[in-house]
Amino acid sequence: MTLVTDTLGADIELRVSQARVPYREALAEMTARNAAIASGEARELVWLLEHPPVYTAGTSAAAAELLDPRFEVVEAGRGGRYTYHGPGQRIGYVLIDLRKRARDARGFVHALEGWVIATLADFGIEGFRAEGRIGIWTHDIDGREAKIGAIGVRIRKWVTMHGFSVNLSPDLSHFGGIVPCGIEEFGVTSLERLGKSVTAGAWDKALLAHAPAFLAALDRACPPIVQSEAVA
């Protein structure tokens, strides 16, 4: 379903898929749309969706980190290592033409992280970047740091692909088949585990309210790296 929203502007299509989209199907469509944007034949795209259970392998994925391939494993072509996607997780694929903006790959990742962190705050979740660890982190119910969102990006001809995933209410045991993002010493959490019941629709509404700030950030060079940041 394609929607019109003032928060993204006329040049960016917002697509919200109600049914679960198989990962391979989404990857093929993203790849084609990326090329079409690069050639000036299509608008930029923000695509919000959910996948059936799948493990995806980034370009740095190590075979030893695939512990139990109980679901289909797909090579994603994005940066990063193994990631799980499945029901209860909100996916945001962000296909943006950086030639129109600051042409800053690190700045894009920084802005994407900030977009997710700002949205989590609307639901009372403190998300943050962590030094040396890609993704969005928070404090779990035991007080330990745990990942609540993943970031994976590929940029071709200065047009972005892939994006982020946020754990609303997935089956967290499904992450046990991999070492998520290659980080063994930290766990994975969700809004549900933290006592927040958030539907996909509620998440999307809050996310889109922060879209203008995300887009504005793409027009600025990325802030210098500080001790508390991790860069994808």
Confidence of residue 229 (pLDDT cuts 50, 70, 90): very low
Q: Tell me the catalytic residues.
A: 181
Residues 71-87: tens digit of each pLDDT:
989 888 887 788 899 99
Q: Tell me if 163 is assigned to a ligand binding site.
A: yes
Q: Tell me if 79 is assigned to a ligand binding site.
A: yes
Beta-bridged to residue 167, according to DSSP, are 89
Domains in the chain, please, with CATH?
A: 2-217 (3.30.930.10)
Question: DSSP string of 6-60?
Answer: TTT-TTEEEEE-SS---HHHHHHHHHHHHHHHHTTSS-EEEEEE--SSEEEE-TT
- Decide: 162 and 58 in contact? Cβ < 8 Å: no
Smallest CA-to-CA distance from 153 within 115, 117, 110 is with 110
> Is residue 5 pLDDT above 80, yes or no?
no
Report H helices in 16-170. 23-38, 105-122
Residues 168-209: tens digit of each pLDDT:
999 999 998 877 654 556 789 999 999 999 999 999 999 999
pTM: 0.89
Q: Tell me if 83 is assigned to a ligand binding site.
A: yes
